[in-house]
Structure 1
Amino acid sequence: MSYVFIALTVLLTVYGQVVLKWQVDLNPGATIENLNPRALLSLLLNPWVVSAFAAAFGASLFWMAAIGRMPLSKAYPFTALSFPLVAVISVWAFREGMDWHKIAGTALVIAGVIVLSRSGIH
């Protein structure tokens, strides 16, 4: 069950990041950098953004359930799987580039998770 909680943590985290990127791209005046208070408030009250915040909260709850059943040093590396998932979704959803640096980095992250998941910690 620990791995299900970890998977839900990762998936909710990825959901939140992708939704926030999508909504910020639709509302460029709402970022802290280009601060337009009205646009920022509108963004913060946007149901999609609220759902991203709720996903982050849900991810935290599932994370607490996971680390209550598994050593932190064994569970934590799996959170890195959000990086390759976000990278792949970003290429598809936001037309971001995927060059060999990103491919190599993503492969290294995945390899690191595999190596760490095979550690002798039980």
Structure 2
Amino acid sequence: MPPSIIISCILVSISLAGGQILFKLAALDIVKYKALGVASVFTPWLAAALMVYAFSTALWVWVLMHAPVSKAYPFVLLAVPLVPLASYWLFSEALNMKYAIGLGLIIFGLFLIQSD
């Protein structure tokens, strides 16, 4: 795949991971608002997450116009380690060694799939 497509695939993965973090922030806000007696599920974090996902979707469609899905889709797996790492740093969520090994295997698998 050309470098522009690979970079776009990586950007899709990063934006998907970022969207998940924004969804988590929206969920935390919704819980906070509910505790205050406010009946709102729409928060700025949710709006940002939806915008990031709209961007991801548009970029993904562009990628699929220029690359086979069998080569592009494995890049989505990059979001898998990004989300837990971000949740560890941002929300102090626990990660263990088994988890780290599994993430390493996913990344190794991506490299195997892409090497032709």
TM-score, reference length from structure 1: 0.82
Gaps of 5+ in 1: none
Q: 2: distance between equivalents of 1:24 and 1:84?
A: 21
Aligned to 2:14: 11
**What is the percent sequence identity of the aligned residues?**
26
**Is the Cα contact below 8 Å between 1:5 and 1:62 reproduced in 2?**
yes
Could you say what secondary structure the match of 1:9 adopts? helix
| Alignment of 1:75 onto 2:72 | yes
Runs of 4+ with deviation above 3 angstroms: none
Q: 2: distance between equivalents of 1:2 and 1:92?
A: 29
Could you tell me how far 1:4 is from its partner in structure 2?
2.2
Aligned to 2:62: 65
Could you say what secondary structure the match of 2:41 adopts? helix
Could you say what secondary structure the match of 1:76 adopts? helix
Could you say what secondary structure the match of 2:102 adopts? helix
CA RMSD of aligned residues (A): 1.9
**Is the Cα contact below 8 Å between 2:10 and 2:78 reproduced in 1?**
no
- 2:24 corresponds, among 14, 21, 43, to 21
Aligned to 2:93: 96
Count matched residues: 111
Aligned to 1:108: 105
Q: 2: distance between equivalents of 1:23 and 1:64?
A: 26
TM-score, reference length from structure 2: 0.86
Residue type at the aligned position of 2:53: A
